Amino acid sequence: MSSIKSVLIDKETIQNMVRSLGERITGDYKGKELIMVGVLKGGFVFLADLIREIKIPVIVEFMSVSSYGSSTKSSGVVKIIKDLDVDIAGKHVLIVEDIIDTGLTLKYLKELLMARGPLSVKICSALDKPSRRKVDIAVDYKGIEIPDEFVIGYGLDYGERYRNLPDVCILDPEG
Ligand code: 5GP
């Protein structure tokens, strides 16, 4: 059993964060061809909101990598389950993630995509837990920094549940 301990970030705060990131991305990529890569599954809610705040044409792609499974601790193992459907050589790529925790997933993904000859690979993450970082990685577009808590909602799951919560909440594993 588990449940929600408290709301950490409400949906209005999330909306404002998404809007301001969308404005920055729109300005930074004006006149460029941008491929936005959503990282499944957690990143799909943020990506869906973010693309509607971006006022330039973008291509949307998805990748799926293994991360936490149903546990709340990172295994450090990153495996590609679904790869991109397009060639990114000569293109600008923006990886869109739900949360950056240890940084292992995004470091691996960024290096993998960089090896395919894109013009650039940048990272956009809705949430950031800087206190848990294990590797040095730049988050080019960062939403909201959070403390070292396991969060659910806004795409983030616990055992595949709670992704549909509109707020980012703190999980109560005892609940
Ligand atoms: P990292 O490789 O940076 O440690 O972890 C990234 C992935 O771990 C995220 O995409 C997400 O799937 C998962 N993750 C990290 N922290 C949390 C959290 O607080 N809640 C949930 N539900 N997943 C998390």
Q: Quick: pLDDT tens for 71-115.
A: 555 555 678 899 999 999 999 999 999 999 999 889 989 999 999
Angle made by CA atoms 73, 79, 81, in degrees to the nearest 5: 115
Q: Domain holding 21: CATH number?
A: 3.40.50.2020
Residue 82: domain span: 4-171
Residue 150 has pLDDT above 50, yes or no: yes
Using omega within 30 degrees of 0 as the cis cutoff, is the peptide bond preceding 41 cis? yes
Distance 20 CA to ligand 1 centre (A): 23
157 is catalytic: no
Q: How far apart are CA 92 and CA 36, in angstroms?
A: 9
Q: Does the beta carbon of 151 lie inside 6 Å of ligand 1? A: yes
Name the domain count of the chain.
Answer: 1
Catalytic residue (one of 98, 101, 128, 157): 101
pLDDT confidence band for 11 (50 / 70 / 90)? very high
Helix (H, G, I), strand (E, B) or coil at 152: strand
pLDDT for 3: 86
Q: What is the tally of helices (H) and strands (E) in the chain?
A: 3, 9
Residue 70 has pLDDT above 50, yes or no: no
Cα 173 to ligand 1 centroid, rounded to whole Å: 16
pLDDT above 90: percentage of residues in the chain: 85
Question: How much of the chain exceeds pLDDT 70, in percent?
Answer: 93
